[in-house]
Structure 1
Amino acid sequence: MNRRAGLLFNLVKYRALFLMVVLPAAVLVFNNYIPMFGGIVAFKNYNFEGGILGSPWAGLDNFKYLFQTEDALVATRNTVLYNGLFIVLNTVCAIFLAIALNELRSRKLAKFFQSSLLFPYFLSFVAVSYLAYAFLGGYGYINKMILEPLGFHDISWYTEPKYWTVILPLVNLWKNVGYGMVVYLAAIIGIDQEYYEAAVIDGASKWQQIRKITIPLIVPVIIVLVILQIGRIFNADFGLFYQVPLNTGVLYPTTNVIDTFVYRSLLVTGNVGMSAAASVYQSVVGFVLVLLTNLIVRKTSRENALF
């Protein structure tokens, strides 16, 4: 009885805090946990008449489709390679920009660059695709304002798959680097200034301060963000790979990823079960990769592990 009274007392005493938690917890449950029930569709031959529970079981047939066609294997390869490149490129550039902004003497100039770099993150990929077309189209900026004045022939960017292994990483970097930069900048600002003051007294150069103080102290933040990104290495940004190349068929060898492959297959076959199987496959593999990556980090540096 005393225990119940204590719980009731705490509930009343901290009611404001509990009320603050209720809405985020409800969003988490309804958006993240309840939809997990729909994962059983991946193991069913889904039809709209029977619904989720009434549709017949299909075993692993929906998963077999993901590995039986050459297009599926190409999409899987592209997904992993692109995301691996994105992780490395975005992390390095975000850290570099965060350190550079932190070293700017003018706070107004730093805020201007910070806002300018963060702005693309809030643009939809529909808007980004129009911007990309303005640069890469037949009468786009690159062809008419750069290549032609220099005496080069126009390039048909939307019919040459080889160029998109460079274009897509650059577009992704331009759009997302600002977000990572803000996170790392916040971590750098939180470093105690006494470390730098002591380093200056010892005669450390600015590069030595960055290498010996700044980077080591933000390593935990870097590890956490990289682990979370590795967990989504089998999930591609649909807008980047579908909208920016304008869904051009000739570019599929270098722009087709798991998400776009499943979407196109769903449009052709209408197989909801196959689409659900792809989602389950991505989630399970991502979860396993997070555990493995965190285990490796724990083996090398226990205090930097995510859990």
Structure 2
Amino acid sequence: MAGSFFRRFNRNKVLLLMVLPGAVWFLCFSYLPLVGTIAAFKEYRFSRHGFWYSLIHSKNVGWDNFKFLFNTDAALTITRNTLLYNIAFIVLGLVCSVALAILLSELANKKLAKLYQTGMFLPYFLSWVIVGYFAFSFLSMDRGLLNHILGYFGVDSMQWYSDPTYWPYILIFVYLWKSIGYSSVVYLASILGIDKSLYEAAMIDGASKLQQVRNITLPLLKPIIIIMTLLAVGKIFYADFGLFYQVPRDSGTLYSVTNVIDTYVYRGLKTTGEIGMSTAAGLYQSVVGFVLVMVSNYVVRKLDKDSALF
């Protein structure tokens, strides 16, 4: 048995070495921190003896840390905002990413297609701090470009950071602008892998571009669309902290439409310093995400076994 293991190891050592950095990363940042979830059930108090000593000897408080999320007036608001925004991100992100990938794949000039792809991919690498300043340059009351345009047409300047009316649309637009280029790469790679003879046969039969997309591209993209959607569903209770904190500039008058679980926990942690509370929130999000992925995958497997994630 041992000899067989070492033979297999020696035969695949190059591949195993390639996997090693990723495996170490997951071990250090995904698996070892799981021990820290104990803090969700403790009144964590850091002492001079170090993190682990403090974690073990802190007072057990049961489910009290979870009550912070559910026993406040903001509980319904932050849950509603987190869910509705993520549903919008999943649906609109999917539609826009697939549409963009199809458009890029249809460009005859491949050098131009690469230029467009690079331009739309670039925002993904910008931090939310920079994106927040970009948004401020458009929405500033005094020097914002958007208010200057409105003034040109005789419309009074708007105090964008004091009026929550338009912020759901602003946040969705900013999210799509930043992420759509990255998301479309996966679908574009899948489209480029489709057998070209299928399109050639469709053209001989007189199919239009729209018919080719509807009858060839989209059906063959269905498995990857389902997988990406299932992975996104697992994070439906997570919110992009930078988007909801940096872009609205932490404006208190916008909390009704910008306050989500992550920003709420951050403000609570900053105010009270309760590490147990923030750990409880993270554990709650992870458990709900896990359950949603399992349920969604079960439904998909019942409808189409080959399209399921596992």
Give the Å deviation of 1:70. Answer: 1.4
Look up the match of 2:11: 13
Residues 36-75 of structure 1 correspond to what in structure 2 (within 5 A)? Answer: 36-49=34-47, 51-75=54-78
Query: Quick one: distance in 2 between partners of 1:228 and 1:24?
Result: 19
Q: Which amino acid aligns with 2:146?
A: I
Q: Secondary structure at the match of 1:158?
A: coil
Give the Å deviation of 1:10. Answer: 2.2
Look up the match of 1:26: 24
Give the Å deviation of 1:201. Answer: 1.3
1:4 pairs with one of 2, 19, 36 = 2
1:241 and 2:244 equivalent?
yes
Q: TM-score scaled by structure 2?
A: 0.96
1:187 and 2:190 equivalent?
yes
1:141 and 2:164 equivalent?
no
Q: Secondary structure at the match of 2:161?
A: helix
What CA deviation, in whole Å up to 9, does each residue of 1:172-198 have, x standing for no partner? 000000011111111100101011111
Give the Å deviation of 1:287. Answer: 0.3
Query: Quick one: distance in 1 between partners of 2:20 and 2:124?
Result: 29
Give the Å deviation of 1:109. Answer: 1.2
What CA deviation, in whole Å up to 9, does each residue of 1:237-290 have, x standing for no partner? 000000000001111000000000000011111111111000000000000000
Look up the match of 2:93: 90
Q: Secondary structure at the match of 2:91?
A: helix
Residues 242 and 260, structure 1, Cα contact 8 Å, conserved in 2: yes
What CA deviation, in whole Å up to 9, does each residue of 1:38-92 have, x standing for no partner? 0010011111126111101110011111101111221111000000001111110
Give the Å deviation of 1:4. Answer: 2.1
Query: Quick one: distance in 1 between partners of 2:21 and 2:135?
Result: 39
Deviating 4+ runs (over 4 angstroms): none
Query: Quick one: distance in 1 between partners of 2:279 and 2:61?
Result: 12
Look up the match of 1:285: 288
Question: Percent of pairs identical after alignment?
Answer: 52
Look up the match of 1:276: 279
Query: Quick one: distance in 1 between partners of 2:108 and 2:33?
Result: 49
Look up the match of 2:117: 114
Q: Which amino acid aligns with 1:13?
A: R
Query: Quick one: distance in 2 between partners of 1:10 and 1:92?
Result: 44
Residues 63 and 277, structure 1, Cα contact 8 Å, conserved in 2: yes
Q: Secondary structure at the match of 1:247?
A: coil
Residues 158 and 245, structure 1, Cα contact 8 Å, conserved in 2: yes
Give the Å deviation of 1:16. Answer: 2.1
What are the ranges of 5 or more consecutive residues in structure 2 without an aligned counterpart? 48-52
Look up the match of 1:157: 160
Query: Quick one: distance in 2 between partners of 1:9 and 1:302?
Result: 35
Residues 72 and 261, structure 1, Cα contact 8 Å, conserved in 2: no
Q: TM-score scaled by structure 1?
A: 0.97
Q: Secondary structure at the match of 1:70?
A: coil
Root-mean-square deviation (CA, aligned residues, Å) is: 1.0
Residues 42 and 276, structure 1, Cα contact 8 Å, conserved in 2: yes
Query: Quick one: distance in 2 between partners of 1:87 and 1:108?
Result: 30
What CA deviation, in whole Å up to 9, does each residue of 1:104-131 have, x standing for no partner? 1111111111011110000000000000
Give the Å deviation of 1:18. Answer: 2.4
Query: Quick one: distance in 2 between partners of 1:106 and 1:151?
Result: 42
